[in-house]
Amino acid sequence: MLTKIGTFTRTMHGNPFSPLTFFRYNSYVQLVDGTDTSIRRFLKQLPGVDQVGAESRAAMLATRSIKTTSKKWAIDCAISMIDLTTLEGSDTDGKVRALCTKAVHPDPTDPSVPSVGAICVYNDKVATARKHLDTIGGKSIPVAAVSTAFPSGRASLEVKKQDTLDALNNGATEIDMVIDRGAFLSGDLVKVFTEIVYIKELCADRAHLKVILETGELVTLDNVRRASHLAMAAGADFIKTSTGKISPAATAPVVLVMLEAVRDWYAMTGIRIGVKPAGGIRTTKDAIKQLVLVRETAGEEWLTPKLFRIGASALLNDLLMQRMKLRNGNYAGPNYVTLD
Amino acid sequence: MTFEYSPAPESTSIVDISAQYGLFINGKFVDAKGSKTFNTINPATEKVLSKIAHAQASDVDKAVAAARAAYTKVWSKMAPQERGKYLFRIARIMQERAREFAVLETMDNGKPIRETRDIDIPLAAAHFFYHAGWADKLKYAGAGDNPRPHGVVGQIIPWNFPLLMLSWKIAPALATGNTVVLKPAETTPLTALLFAEVCQQAGLPAGVVNIVTGDGATGSALVNHPDIDKIAFTGSTGVGKGIARAIAGTGKSATLELGGKGANIVFDDSPIDQTVEGIVSGIFFNQGHVCCAGSRLLVQENVHDELIEKLKRRISQIRVGDPLDKNTDLGAINSAAQLARIEEISSSGDSEGALRWSPECALPEKGFWYPPTIFTGVTQANRIAQEEIFGPVLSVLTFRTPQEAIDKANNTPYGLSAGVWSEKGSRILWAAKQLKAGVIWANTFNKFDPASPFGGYKESGWGREGGRHGLAAYLKGGEK
């Protein structure tokens, strides 16, 4: 059993480097301090993931039948967890404003529909989004910015820091950074770890940090588990599956393993880390399956936008159509929900 | 905010249960000789589902005579590929009527609809498909160049997987050219009777499959019938021993698939989350009414506490209740008698000093229910480590070294199944060589496939069912 003893701040190579996390593992104290050995030792002691077993558990949970009252609850819960996203080269201020309007009142004909969890954009659109949300009564909706040379993460640390700073200065209160998958796969865990630590340092109290593992590139579930723990040890507030630019993205077994990771992390440290599946969740059915995974893996405590988000764009309209179906008893055509 | 699953009951409108059933002899439903009947009930509600004919010795006579006539005149003379066609047809009809079978099985047995829908019925159909393909390839079944059927086979099946056990018995028997008289369990006859309808629907020649319902006396009449060539039995070791005594010296062949006390061995390098899942499916699948259940958990002592903590958390999430609800994980105990047996053996765990734990879970008022239960601190000397409980009760023991795990696992009169959990391939292979069990699962549990032989060592039985080995049990080899 790994027990957290404390978190300390210090400088490394003259730069601020935090947090330093100490753990007690059985009889010896283990230090995840950014050195290669400590990180390796920490990740090595994690139990393996049997892929066949994980897939069959995820498949079994996908058979849960969510009907009537529970479906109604799940639809509203899912809407409130959406990070409504646009991450295109063609994004304009107009497009972002439209998205924000939709985020505040997903269904303009029905004020009982909750607002979404956040807006997620590139850093140069953060200011537009923030300003528009504030204008239309969406002050409480956070703006998240993808960062650190999203989606590939192939840039210098200086560029990644500046990318993050821009987003923060523009008013982002959530940063969705990508890890350096090349470094992870080549075994340079220190690089992955320190980058997260530096970005976390910039976010400090200003923003929540979501760390994108891009599980479609890590491929194995063992890697997903290790990368999840690596990110949490380095200070992630959320671990996120994917950029949405790589397929496969948020598959059920991947989300299952990440939910197990945050559950285990809570048991070790008493701290709840959030999970954000992103990419490929397009239908109400998909979203409800995610909520079932959360409920039966991490537990009910995670069923809040503070600890679970779904990165999506097309999903919202499907949820709205299913919501109308529950209310009116018949399916509305696509023109009865708004484009954003 | 809470995410409670609303009730999601499967509709029962698809099944059409008659008020009373006769016996299925020579292709027709006929009345039994006497007027004796017994009720079959839904164990989740205790409601009577139907009245079932109680076959007497003279009814068994008729059934055996019908099977003999069908064997001599039709089935043994039919071209093997024609026999295969009937099996394919039966398999397809079972798939077409899968939901009907699933709902009926759940009502009659008490097991969750999720399991009948996703496991019992698809596997039952798969057994017919698998054996259909074998019908014209029997020279490759391992019984030599001149394989021949036994003739008329008497088959007695248990209540834990009624339709699946029927398929395990009937599909290989028919594929190899035998005809059968089958007796379903007293508490679960309905899917066998629906299967009789499927035989009619498939146009199976009369007398090839006969189904006689009844109790132990009916089974005994079948076992002792002089014109039976082979007995295939699945059930308790006690009854199995009685059958072995009864047929000794008669020249009848037998396959016996009996009890077990499977060891599920967890090494300290196991993939822990999937191990927990495997332990749960090992003992709570089908309410633990599984002869190959992983009812003895052997955990390496240095991971015991961590594993048990995770296991308890997972067991707390098991959904106990209405078997027809699509979200139910653990259904009803099959009968009042079985519930009493589970209660009796489990209480010995308490009195012998093991530590009982069950999650908080509300059990329905009506019907037969037992909560998922684990006993920690169990030793080999406890009754709950030795006797088959056949219910949702897990005994947890510890070991220190791999050899100790093997020694404890093999220290039982049974030898049906075992599980090994480790990320180290060499250790799995080493353990599998040492374990005296008919089926050994590595990093999984309770997985079945028609191509894989199943059966036991020691008091767990004789012979194998499924795969090429199971086929050989229905064939005679050697010169004509």
Q: Name the residue of chain A whose CA is nearest to B327's CA.
A: A64
| Percent of chain A residues topping a pLDDT of 90 | 78
pLDDT at A36: 82
CATH code (residue A114): 3.20.20.70
SS3 content of chain B, % helix, strand, coil (to 5): 40, 20, 40
Co-location of B242 and B275 in the same domain = no
CATH code: domain of residue B118: 3.40.605.10
Q: Average pLDDT for residues A166-189, to the nearest whole number?
A: 97
Q: Residue A16: is its pLDDT beyond 70?
A: no
B233 and B300 housed in the same domain = no
Quick check: is B9 in a domain?
no
Amino acid at B360: E
Q: Are residues B171 and B291 in the same domain?
A: no
Strand partners, B156: B183, B233
Q: How far apart are CA B63 and CA B211, in angstroms?
A: 8
CATH number for the domain spanning B332: value is 3.40.309.10
The residue-averaged pLDDT of B160-169 equals 98
Structural domain harbouring B159: 20-258+459-476
Are residue B344 and residue B470 in the same domain, yes or no? no
Residues B166 and B271 occupy one common structural domain: no
Q: In what order do the strands lie in the sheet with A143-147?
A: A274-276, A238-240, A208-212, A174-178, A143-147, A118-121, A82-85, A310-312
pLDDT at A27: 42
Domain of A264? 52-336
CB B169 within 8 A of CB B450: no
A289 domain residue, yes or no: yes
Q: Is B327 on the interface with A (CB under 8 A)?
A: yes
Would you list the DSSP string of B345-408? HHHHHHHTTPEEE----PPPSSS-----EEEES--TTSHHHHS---SSEEEEEEESSHHHHHHH
- Cα–Cα distance between B164 and B418 in angstroms, integer? 21
Other C-beta atoms closer than 10 Å to the C-beta of A183 total 17
Q: What is the pLDDT of residue B142?
A: 86
Catalytic residue among A240, A264, A318, A340: A240
Q: What is the pLDDT of residue A1?
A: 47
Residue showing tokens 């991490």: A298
Residues B268 and B251 grouped into a single domain? no
CA B119 to each of CA A175, A252, B113, B449: distance values in angstroms, whole numbers, following the listed order: 45, 21, 10, 11
Q: Is A53 on the interface with B (CB under 8 A)?
A: yes
Q: Is residue A206 part of a domain?
A: yes
> Are the CB atoms for B127 and B203 separated by under 8 Å?
no
As given in the structure block, the two tokens for residue A271 are 């701290």
* Cβ contact, residue pair B274, A68, below 8 Å: no
- Position B229 in a domain: yes
pLDDT digits (tens, 9 = 90+) for A17-68: 445 565 554 444 556 767 788 888 888 889 999 999 999 999 999 999 999 9
Smallest Cβ–Cβ distance between B5 and the set A50, A66, A303 belongs to A66
**How sure is the predictor about B478, in pLDDT bands with cuts at 50, 70 and 90?**
low
Least confident of A187-191, B60-64, B125-129: A187-191
Q: Is there a catalytic annotation at residue A245?
A: no
In percent, the amount of chain B with pLDDT more than 70 equals: 99
- How close does chain A come to B387, measured CA to CA in Å? 29
Which residues lie below 8 Å from residue B365, measured CB to CB, with a gap of 6+? none
Residues B339 and B472 in one domain: no
Distance CA B450, CA B168 (A): 8
Known catalytic membership, residue A176: yes
Percent share of chain B, pLDDT over 90: 97
Residue B84 lies in a domain: yes
- The set of catalytic residues of B is 257, 291
Residues of B in contact with A295 (CB under 8 A): 3
A41 domain-assigned: no
In B99-223, DSSP assigns E strands to: 148-149, 152-156, 179-183, 209-211
pLDDT, chain A, mean = 91
- Tokens 């394989």, residue located: B147
Same domain (yes/no): B211, B85: yes
Write the pLDDT tens digit of every residue in B337-362: 999 999 999 999 999 999 999 999 99
**Closest residue in B to A57 (Cα–Cα):** B277
Is A53's CB within 8 Å of B277's CB?
Answer: yes
Q: Does A67 touch chain B (CB under 8 A)?
A: yes
Give dist(CA B148, CA A253) in Å, integer.
48
In a domain, A266, yes or no: yes
Domain-embedded: residue B14:
no
Using a CB-CB cut-off of 8 Å, the residues of chain B touching A81 are none
Question: For residue A260, is it within any domain?
Answer: yes
| Lowest pLDDT segment from A5-9, B31-35, B127-131, B406-410 | A5-9
pLDDT band of residue B480 (cuts 50, 70, 90) is: low
**Residue B420 domain-assigned?**
yes
Together in a domain, B112 and B134 = yes
**B346 in a structural domain:** yes
**B233 and B335 inside one domain:** no
- The verdict on B5 touching A (C-beta cutoff 8 Å) is yes
Taking residues B390-410, report their average pLDDT: 98
> Is the CB of residue B158 less than 8 Å from the CB of residue B234?
yes
**Structural domain includes residue B31:** yes
How many independent structural domains does chain A possess?
1
* pLDDT averaged over every residue in chain B: 97
Give A191-205 pLDDT, tens digit per residue: 999 899 899 989 988
pLDDT in tens, B1-20: 589 999 999 999 999 999 99
Residues B183, B63: one domain? yes
d(CA A129, CA A127): 5
Q: Do B252 and B270 lie in a common domain?
A: no
- This prediction has a pTM of 0.94
pLDDT of residue A31: 61
Distance from CA of B310 to the nearest CA of A (A): 10
Which range is least confidently modeled, A120-134, A266-280, B125-139?
A266-280
B301 Cβ under 8 Å from any chain A Cβ: no
- What pLDDT is stored for residue A117 in this prediction? 98
Predicted confidence band at A11 (pLDDT cuts at 50, 70, 90)?
A: very low
Contacts for A268 with CB less than 8 Å, ≥ 6 apart: A1, A2, A3, A4, A23
Band (pLDDT 50/70/90 cuts) for residue A134 is very high
CB atoms within 10 A of CB B402: 17
Number of domains into which chain B is organized:
2
